[in-house]
Structure 1
């Protein structure tokens, strides 16, 4: 059995000192792209018209 007093290990709780000294400027900038963009009103009308024929 595990000792309940030893349940809070280093991996269970983050070291907040590490997050405070993190340098965001080292991260690279990226442009977010949608994988499945939503259809426009025109595209929906075209599909409705093509399906009704």
Structure 2
């Protein structure tokens, strides 16, 4: 059983190995104005 890591050891090792990253939206939701413009364009 001494070979298995404890939860404290796992949590500590993950924090040391992970890097901070900035997330960016690849597919942002359309704004209300964009939706209205598309609806008006569809009516033409």
Aligned residues: 41
CA RMSD, 1 decimal: 2.7
Structure number with larger C-alpha Rg: 1
Q: Could you say which structure has the higher helix fraction?
A: 2
**Offset from partner CA, 1:27-53 (integer Å, 9 cap, x none):** 221111122110000100000000011
The within-5 A match list for 1:1-53 is 15-16=5-6, 17-22=8-13, 24-53=15-44
- TM-score (structure 1 length as normaliser): 0.55
Q: Which runs of 4+ in 1 moved over 4 A?
A: none
- TM-score (structure 2 length as normaliser): 0.62
